[in-house]
Amino acid sequence: MGNSTVRAVSPAGSSTRARGSGLAVFSVAFAFWITMAGTTAPTPLYPLYGDAFGFTPFTVTVVFAVYALGVVVGLLAFGRLSDQVGRRPVLIAATLLSVCAAVAFILAQNVAAMLIARVVSGFSAALVTGAATASLAERLGQNSRVKPATLALFANMGGLACGTLLAGILADLAPSPLRTPWVVMLVLAAIGALGVLLHGESSEHRSGFSLQFQPLHVPAEIRSDFLRSAMAGGAGFAVLGVLTAVTGLFLGTVLNESSHSLTGLVVFIAFACTAFGQLLVRTLRPSTALPVACLGLIAAAALIAAAMATSTLTPLLAGAAVNGLATGIAVGHGIGSITTRSAPQHRGASISTFFAILYSMLAVPAIGVGVLIRQTSLRPAGETFSAVVAALALGVLLSLVRPAKKAA
C-alpha cells in the first residue's frame, strides 16, 4: 500500500517529456507490481505457518505489523533516495530486496526468520513506491494516453491484490504450500529486477546521496482536511491490515473453510476495490468525497461485524469491498488535497507524513486485535474492532457536519 502520487514536473518547473519505450514502461510497472505482490503473499499462508511453527493469532498480527512499520521507517529514511541517486538503482534494490524476502521465507524455520523477511519486504515496498511512480511519470510524459498516476495506482494496488490471491491458489494446488508460492515470487521478482536493469535511467536530475530522515509535515493551509482524510483513510487501512492478518484465521476456525484461495480472494477484493475507490474519487465533488468515505467505512464495519456475529462469508466479502472503496476515496481525496492545495515546497514531506499515518494505522490496530483475540476470542475481538472503526469514521463525519452548520 503505497503512495500513488506522481510528480511529473522537473525541478526547473517544466513539464516532463516521455523518456522511455513501451517495454521500459512495462518493465517499471512490472517491477512495481511484483514487489507489492510479494508484500501480501504471506496472507493466505499464515494459518499454515501457525501450524508449522506453533504460534498464536497474536503472533500473526505482530508478523504483519512489523511489515507496516518497516514501510514507515523506509519511507521516512529513503523516501527521497531515487531523487538523489536515480530511479533505476532504487528499483533494482527494491526488487532484489523482494527476492531476499522470498528467499528468507523459503528458508524460514521459525518466527524470527519470518519477522526478518517481513521487515525486508517493508523496505522493498518503501523503496519501490516513490521510485516506480516517478519513473513512470518520466517515461510516459505528460501527454501520454495512459496516465502515469493511473498506471502507478494499478501496479501498486494490483500487486497488493494479486499477491495474496496468487499465493492462495498456489498453496491450494501446488506441492509444498509454504515453499512453492515463494519460489514463484522469487522468480518473478528476479525477472522484475532484470527488466529494470536492461533499461536506462529515466531521471535527468540527481542531487547526490545523503542519509537523513524525511521531516514530517502537516500543511497548515489544509491542516483540518489533511487530518480528516488521514483519519478516515487510516480507519480504512486499519481494516485492510486486520483483514490481511486474520482473514485466514476467521475462515479456518469460524467458518471451517480451509481454502487458501478463498482467503486470498477476500483480501484481493479489499485491495482491488481500494484501487477503484481512488479512481472513483475523481468523479466526486471534493466537498462530498470524505462524507461518502465515512459513510462507506461505517457500513463496512457493520458488515464485518455481521460476518463475525453470524459466522457467514457473504457479509465479509461485501464488507471487504465497501471498505476498499471507502478507503480509496478517503486516500484519493487526501492526496488530491495535498498535491493541489498545499505549498509546493512541502508536498513531498506532506505526502510522506500522510502515508506514515496510514501505515501506522495499518500496523497498530492489527496488534491490538491480536491482543483482544488472546484475551477473548476472534469473534468478540472482530466485533469490538468493527465498533472502534465505525466510531472513528463517525467522528470524522460529525467533524465535517459541524463546520457546515457553522457556515450556514
Q: Which domains does the chain have, with CATH numbers?
A: 20-202 (1.20.1250.20), 215-408 (1.20.1250.20)
Mean pLDDT, all residues of the chain: 87
- In order, the DSSP letters of 59-86 are HHHHHHHHHHHHHHHHHHHHTTHHHHH-
CB atoms within 10 A of CB 254: 18
Lowest mean pLDDT among 59-73, 76-90, 116-130, 232-246: 76-90
Which pLDDT value is given to residue 116?
A: 96
Give me the percent of the chain exceeding a pLDDT of 90. Answer: 59
Lowest mean pLDDT among 272-281, 365-374, 396-405: 396-405
What is the average per-residue pLDDT within 261-267? Answer: 96
pLDDT at 50 over 50: yes
What is the average per-residue pLDDT within 46-75? Answer: 90
Q: What is this structure's pTM?
A: 0.88
Length of the chain: 408
Q: List residues bridging with 120 in a β-sheet.
A: none
Residue 124's alpha-carbon distances to 75, 81, 86, 94, 208, in angstroms, are 10, 13, 16, 4, 21
CB atoms within 10 A of CB 259: 17
Contact of 202 with 87, CB cutoff 8 Å:
yes
Q: What is the pLDDT of residues 149-181, one digit of tens each?
A: 889 889 999 999 999 999 999 999 999 999 999
Q: What is the pLDDT of residues 290-316, one digit of tens each?
A: 999 999 999 999 999 999 999 999 999
